Every structure is written in C-alpha cells, then in structure tokens.
C-alpha cells in the first residue's frame, strides 16, 4: 500500500504490496477524526464506499467525513418509486443512470457541480444539526455575508428561500451516517427536467414522495465559490469543529484489496432488483389512445414486476381473446420497456394474427411502454 502525502492530501492506492485494509489503517492512525475524499466519480462505487465504512469501520470512538462528487446521475431514496419521482424516458435518452441509495429521503440529481458529504459517527453521537453547522460555517468563512442557514427539515437554505442542500440518513445498530448535497454549479437546464416524472399522475403508491423546492447554485451568488474551494473549506471546518488535525485522505473505492467486499457492494447497488425491484407496491391506472380508440389500462406492480394487468378495449377494435393473451404475456414480467418490447415481439411471432391485428398489437405495446 502506498501512502503519498501531497498538499495535505494523502492518496491511498494499491500499487504496492498491501499490508492492511483501510479499516486497519484507520485504527493504526489512532485519530479521533478523519476526512476522506473519494477518487471515484461513479455513483455506485461511492454509495458502496459509504456502506463499507458504515459496516466495516469502528465508529464508536471516531468521527469521519467523506467528500465525494459524481458524474450525472439521479439518486432516489430507499423507499421511493422511480416512476413517480423522475423522467425515466428522458434519462434513458440522455444516458443518465438511476441509483437507489440505502438511506431514506427524496430524489436528487448529481453532477460534478454538486458536492456530497457523508458524516459518519456512532449512533449515539449522530447529530444532523452539528453536521449542517459545519457546512454553513465553512461557507460563511469563505463569504461572511452569505445568508445560509439550516431549516427545520435539515435542508440548507440560501437567502431563506432557495434550497442548496438536502439531507438523508441511515441509522444502523451501533453506527450511523448522515449525508447531504450542496449545489455549487449544477446543470440547472437538466435538473428540473429529469426530476419531473412523466407518469406520476397515473400512479397510485404509498412510496415516500419528494418535496419539490426552488433551488439555486452557490456559483450564481459568488463565482469564487467553486466545488474545490468549498470542499477544502468544509474539510477545514470539520477538523476545527471536532478538534483534530489530520490531512485529507484520498481513497479509491474500486480497490478491493483495501476494502474487501466493496466490489460486491457496488454490484448489488447496480442490479435491477435493487434499483427498481425494491419499489413499494403501486398501481398504474391510465387511459391510452391508440388509433383514436381510448383504452383503459390497469396494472398492479409488486417488486418491480407486473402482478396483474387488465385492459378495457372495444371488442370491435381487438377481440377479447387476443386482449387476454396480450395481458397474460405481461403478467409476471418486469415493469420495464425493454422487457415488455421483447415479450410482445415474441408474442407476435408465436400467436397467429392478421397483419391488421399485428399493427394494433404493436401500437398497443407502444402505449403500454409510454407509462414505463
């Protein structure tokens, strides 16, 4: 393991023989407080790093701050419904991935203009108020006249109105983490579009909804408040607040040797079963128009799969027998446009139908996919 000190930053990598895991390294440091910065900009690696620290590092007598940024991604809370929270078709067109974190809270858009901060402590020392004070004091140290304050919802507001930071948390048996965002220079031409669902009006769900708020970038207020400057200020303020002096340690969360099991953690976070399958049960009630014919569509979705599908279609447009075969094809399948398209294509190859009916089935499939 190489530990390279440069400009008060340590870089941990595995280009030399590994002598200890990251957890052992922290124990050997003997520090009561540690500041980490992730070398990755991948959401799944960074979420896995959070989980690895929470699960594998002794936090009973130690506090830790992790600073990280991601390439463009939409992140939903543990108990949320992605079809209700974001515009999945637009995200697919833009190549923006979706991730589900293990903490609660609402849906957020990350890009390089957003800073993520994760505060790790023992469960007994978990204190969101104190953590948010670190952030607001760091910002005021950079610009004393900046009007920033934490709200009762544990957001940070700019000028008492604009949300620049949101909060979520995970409380384990003995350890906890509180993480929050900070809008520095996020692409606001994309943010509102991807966080506006195209299907929320047709969904009935008990999933935790996000609370929309007006937002603003710190860079809009002061062009000197760039991400790197702010991260340095937060790291310094955190050290002052918790009374220790330690360099910022840069960690590569893709290194399995330093963090045994982290690859599996990252892989699990990328599975369809976790991102979509963990969605609380919901129903879809929609009317779709195909060839000027109004079709009522009702679906029950459980664990991200179609539990039951029913359609009301005029008999003179499509025979009920064909409708029943079509809906039976969807039952048990993933509530996913790609899988639906594949299943319907197979259905059309294996079921005898006229060219006219085939066209109707094709358009009916497009209508169903439109609510996915």
Tell me the pLDDT tens digit for each residue of 335-372: 999 999 999 999 999 999 999 999 999 999 999 999 99
Positive/negative CA dihedral, 251, 256, 259, 261: positive
Statement: residue 71 has pLDDT above 60? yes
Q: Provide the pLDDT confidence category of residue 13 given band limits of 50, 70 and 90.
A: low
Beta strands in the chain (DSSP E): 2-6, 9-13, 33-38, 63-68, 73-76, 98-100, 108-110, 114-122, 148-150, 156-158, 162-165, 167-171, 175-183, 203-205, 248-251, 282-290, 293-302, 305-312
Reading the block at residue 363, the tokens are 């358009």
Eight-class DSSP state of 280: P
Q: Provide the pLDDT confidence category of residue 31 given band limits of 50, 70 and 90.
A: confident
Supply the pLDDT for residue 16.
Answer: 37
Mean pLDDT of 23-33: 81
Tell me the pLDDT tens digit for each residue of 104-121: 999 999 999 999 999 999
Beta strands in 123-208 (DSSP E): 148-150, 156-158, 162-165, 167-171, 175-183, 203-205
Instruction: Delineate the domains of the chain, giving CATH numbers in brackets.
Output: 21-276 (3.30.930.10), 282-371 (3.30.390.50)
Mean pLDDT of 81-97: 97
Q: From the CB of residue 5, how many other CB atoms can be counted at a distance below 10 Å?
A: 10
Supply the pLDDT for residue 10.
Answer: 56
Angle 13-7-11 (CA atoms, 0-180°, nearest 5)?
A: 5
Residue 283, judged by CB atoms within 10 A of its CB (0-12, 13-18, 19+), counts as middle
Q: Provide the pLDDT confidence category of residue 168 given band limits of 50, 70 and 90.
A: very high
Statement: residue 125 has pLDDT above 50? yes
Supply the pLDDT for residue 246.
Answer: 77
Q: Cα separation of 197 and 25, whole Å?
A: 44
Q: Cα separation of 327 and 26, whole Å?
A: 56
Q: Provide the pLDDT confidence category of residue 29 given band limits of 50, 70 and 90.
A: confident
Comparing 84-98, 236-250, 311-325, the range with the smallest average pLDDT is 236-250
Q: Which residue in 347, 313, 350, 348 sits closest to 333, CA to CA?
A: 347
**Mean pLDDT of the chain, nearest integer:** 92
pTM of the model: 0.92
């Amino acid at each position: 393991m190489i530990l390279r000190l440069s400009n008060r930053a340590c870089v941990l990598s595995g280009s030399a023989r590994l002598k200890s895991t990251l957890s052992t390294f922290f124990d050997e440091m003997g520090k009561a407080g540690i500041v980490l910065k992730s070398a990755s900009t991948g959401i799944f690696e960074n979420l896995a790093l959070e989980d690895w620290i929470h699960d594998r590092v002794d936090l009973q007598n130690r506090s830790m701050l992790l600073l990280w940024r991601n390439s463009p991604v939409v992140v939903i809370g543990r108990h949320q419904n992605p079809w209700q929270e974001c515009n999945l078709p637009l995200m697919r067109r833009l190549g923006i991935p979706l991730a589900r974190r293990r903490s609660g809270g609402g849906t957020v858009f990350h890009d390089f203009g957003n800073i993520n901060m994760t505060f790790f402590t023992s469960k007994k020392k978990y204190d969101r108020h104190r953590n948010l004070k670190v952030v607001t004091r760091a910002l005021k140290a950079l610009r004393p006249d900046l009007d920033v304050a934490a709200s009762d919802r544990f957001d940070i507001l700019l000028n008492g109105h604009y949300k620049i930071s949101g909060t979520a948390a995970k409380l384990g048996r003995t350890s906890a983490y509180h993480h929050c965002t900070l809008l520095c220079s996020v692409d606001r031409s994309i943010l509102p579009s991807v966080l506006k669902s195209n299907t929320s009006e047709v969904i009935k769900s008990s999933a935790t909804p996000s609370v929309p708020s007006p937002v603003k970038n710190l860079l809009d207020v002061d062009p000197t408040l760039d991400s790197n400057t702010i991260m340095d200020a937060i790291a310094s303020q955190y050290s002052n607040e918790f009374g220790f002096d330690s360099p910022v340690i840069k960690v590569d969360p893709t290194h399995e040797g330093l963090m045994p099991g982290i690859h599996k953690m990252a892989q699990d976070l990328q599975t369809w079963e976790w991102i979509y399958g963990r969605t609380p049960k919901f129903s879809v009630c929609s009317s779709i128009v195909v060839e000027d014919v109004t079709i009522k569509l009702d679906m029950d979705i459980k664990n991200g799969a179609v539990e039951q599908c029913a359609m009301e279609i005029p008999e003179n447009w499509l025979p009920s027998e064909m409708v029943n075969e079509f809906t039976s094809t969807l039952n048990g399948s993933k509530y996913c446009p790609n899988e639906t398209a594949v299943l319907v294509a197979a259905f059309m190859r294996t079921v005898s139908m006229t060219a006219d009916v085939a066209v109707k089935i094709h358009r009916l499939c497009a209508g169903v996919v439109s609510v996915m």
